[in-house]
Structure 1
Amino acid sequence: MRRAFSRRKALPILAFTFATALWGGSAALWAAGENTQPDLLSLGGSVTEIVYALGQQHRLVARDTTSVFPPEAADLPDVGYLRALSAEGVLSVSPALIISEEGAGPPETIELLQTASVPFVTVPETYTAQGVVDKILAVGKALDVEPKAQELAHNVGRKLDAAQHAATQSGIPKRVLFILSTNGGRILASGTGTAADGIIKMAGAVNALVEFEGYKPVTDEAVSAAAPDVILMMDRRGDHATSNEELLALPAITTTPAAKSQSVVRMDGLYLLGFGPRTAQAVTDLNTALYGG
């Protein structure tokens, strides 16, 4: 028992020592004037997109797994998944600045990074047009390129307003059920307060499930009662992807209007749910997929 306790106590101390050593090297270069711009680590696909849209990609030293657009971002070192980061992985690229989407974790990793004195900027996440604008402005401020960010935010905001206005002309709003996964035939779906809920509303439709917040498993009865006109999913590839035939044959879905009309829409996950610079076009594309055009 005594040995196990000592080992547990030693792990954070070793990690802290490792973090401090790496940060100390970056700080020394910065103080000596040898590092004229921050070595930027971007965490979150939308943040990385904004960095590129602001023309600041030359400052990137690494990115996380969700940062897959633009395609050239894949050439950067990958420090891991946004919500399952390790301090060692993050600090191995010696960042002098980290800009992250809200929700990065786990909490102990973020605490350790902050203890190591690496500037860590969290960009708030709100699943609205204004949320996209605010995100752009926040990234621009963190990078000290506020005039560029204001120009980009203005242009993106104007496109978002136009896309949403066009979406309101679509007629009777369709009921859309966003399904995150169907592992083992069990449906994990979106309630309110999610990126899926936000994009569905912006595209002129309504979320079929509003009885809960976040993403939760739902019963067959709940799906049937929701009576979705359309099923919306991320476009996934690979052996574990569920085909439209398999999806519409699930007992929970087979009785719905969506199954009767064979209405399934699939879109790239980051494009659909990222709430970054491409969101206005995502709103237009989703509206077209839902209503035609």
Structure 2
Amino acid sequence: MKILLILVSFISFIWAERIVTLSPSINEIVFALGEGKNIVANTTYCNYPSQSKEIKKVGGYANISLEKILEVKPTLVIAQNYDQKLLENLKALNIKTLVFKTDTLDSIKNTILTLGKEFNKEKLASSLVMKINQSLKNLENIVSDKKIVIIIHPSKNLSKNIFIVGNNLYFNDIIKASNNQNAYISKNSAQPVVNIEKIIAMNPDIIILLAAFFQEDKEGLEEIKKQWKNLPINAAIKNNIYAIDKEYAGIPSHRVIYFIDDFKKILEDVRNK
């Protein structure tokens, strides 16, 4: 019996996947599906769950090293569609590579379900997607027809370029699911960059600052919020300036449910004023 157990363990070790995850969102989803133990390399910003920090790094968004990937002898590389040259090189080397988008809610859910099938974890993947769907449903009929602007990484200087959420990201899907609207409307899929005059012209009812960089700087974040509260816009007049300083807010993984919950609390606060 002891020999059999040793043999089974040895076979499991031999056949275990050697996974490389090339983005934080992919890394988080693989862990959520119970395959984190098989990740042999990831990227610089893959820091959740905490075990991810101890895994070998192969670079960041713009400087992923093919050589470092090859060093860990992967059986599977899971990536997003950022670096086409890298993906072509992996394909040329006959390394199994799965490529996903995680920009919209549908693409996030598709990534979870497809990886669930890949790892024979369909039931777990379906459960994660069901939680996202339920979280979205919980947003219904809190407030409606409010114009919302979501600011990405707000600066202390409002005269600088302001990066906001456009109409092609999962944040926009969440706004729509709540029966509200993105104050910024454009068919352009590029990252929107506006100035403060444009924000004033949009006159949003709610401003949400995605401020993970200020998680350890509450005083700095309050200074930023104060500047936005001084603007001649409905959001400032009605004191509807909010900040979410959690890192998960900008990671398009299964943890989007935490952002949705934060968003729900904001809408409830607006309703209750």
TM-score for both structures, normalised by structure 1: 0.74
1:30-179 alignment, distance < 5 Å? 35-100=14-79, 102-105=80-83, 107-128=84-105, 130-143=106-119, 145=120, 148=121, 150-179=122-151
Q: Read off the aligned partner of 1:229 and give its amino acid letter.
A: D
Q: Which residue of 2 aligns with 1:30?
A: none
SS in 2 for 1:210: coil
CA distance in 2, matches of 1:284, 1:162: 11
Unmatched 5+ stretches in structure 2: 1-11
Q: Read off the aligned partner of 1:125 and give its amino acid letter.
A: T
Q: Read off the aligned partner of 1:81 and give its amino acid letter.
A: G
Q: Which residue of 2 aligns with 1:231?
A: 207
Q: Which residue of 1 aligns with 2:8?
A: none
Q: Which residue of 1 aligns with 2:227?
A: 249
1:5-20 alignment, distance < 5 Å? none
SS in 1 for 2:173: helix
Q: Read off the aligned partner of 1:272 and give its amino acid letter.
A: A
CA distance in 2, matches of 1:209, 1:278: 25
CA distance in 1, matches of 2:118, 2:45: 20
Contact 2:26–2:253, Cα closer than 8 Å, also in 1: yes
Q: Which residue of 1 aligns with 2:171?
A: 196
Contact 1:163–1:280, Cα closer than 8 Å, also in 2: yes
Offset of residue 218 of structure 1: 0.8
CA distance in 1, matches of 2:178, 2:253: 15
Contact 1:188–1:215, Cα closer than 8 Å, also in 2: yes
Residues 180 and 103 of structure 1: CA distance in aligned 2, closer, same or farther (over 3 Å): farther
Contact 2:24–2:47, Cα closer than 8 Å, also in 1: yes
Q: Deviations over 1:150-201 (max 9, x none)?
A: 2123222332232222211202243221222455622122221023323333
Mean Cα deviation higher: 185-194 or 258-267? 258-267
Contact 1:41–1:98, Cα closer than 8 Å, also in 2: yes
Q: Deviations over 1:193-227 (max 9, x none)?
A: 02332333345542111124342221333211211
Q: Read off the aligned partner of 1:139 and give its amino acid letter.
A: L
Coordinate RMSD, CA, aligned: 2.8
TM-score for both structures, normalised by structure 2: 0.79
Q: Read off the aligned partner of 2:41 and give its amino acid letter.
A: A
Contact 2:183–2:204, Cα closer than 8 Å, also in 1: yes
Offset of residue 34 of structure 1: 7.8
CA distance in 2, matches of 1:64, 1:199: 27
Residues 259 and 84 of structure 1: CA distance in aligned 2, closer, same or farther (over 3 Å): farther
Q: Percent same amino acid at aligned positions?
A: 22
Contact 1:202–1:283, Cα closer than 8 Å, also in 2: no
Q: Read off the aligned partner of 1:61 and give its amino acid letter.
A: V
Matched residues, number: 251
Q: Which residue of 2 aligns with 1:186?
A: 161
CA distance in 2, matches of 1:279, 1:249: 28
Alignment of 1:268 onto 2:243: no
